[in-house]
Amino acid sequence: MTWDADFRYSPKGWESESFCGNRWNNINKEERKQYLKNAYRLLLTPVRQGMVVVVPPGDCKDATRHPSFYDPTFELGSLFWNNRTGEVSWWSK
């Protein structure tokens, strides 16, 4: 599974974004934020069975793929990935 910048971690916490046209827009409705979080949670369920999650590198030359959109998510995932059990335990962060 490839992680995208629509649901990303930042120093402020989890951010929910929607890509429209040529830019990311903040999702303001709480229902849509919860839906996006639950979608990623559902997609991550098979990770325990050996699925690979890829957080792509950002690209400073592309404003829609800036490293600040991806790096904090990668770093957080790296901190909370349990190599012994395969569990991902960072949803509460």
H-helix or E-strand spanning residue 39:
helix 30-44
- How would you list the strands of the sheet with 7-10, edge to edge? 7-10, 13-20, 23-26
Question: CB of 17 within 8 A of CB of 5?
Answer: yes
pLDDT digits (tens, 9 = 90+) for 6-46: 999 998 999 999 999 999 999 999 999 999 999 988 887 76
Q: What's the pLDDT at 8?
A: 94
pLDDT digits (tens, 9 = 90+) for 53-86: 888 999 999 999 999 999 998 888 776 665 555 5
Using CA atoms, how far residue 51 sits from 2, 28, 46, in Å, is 11, 31, 6
Q: Helix (H, G, I), strand (E, B), or coil: what is residue 59? A: coil
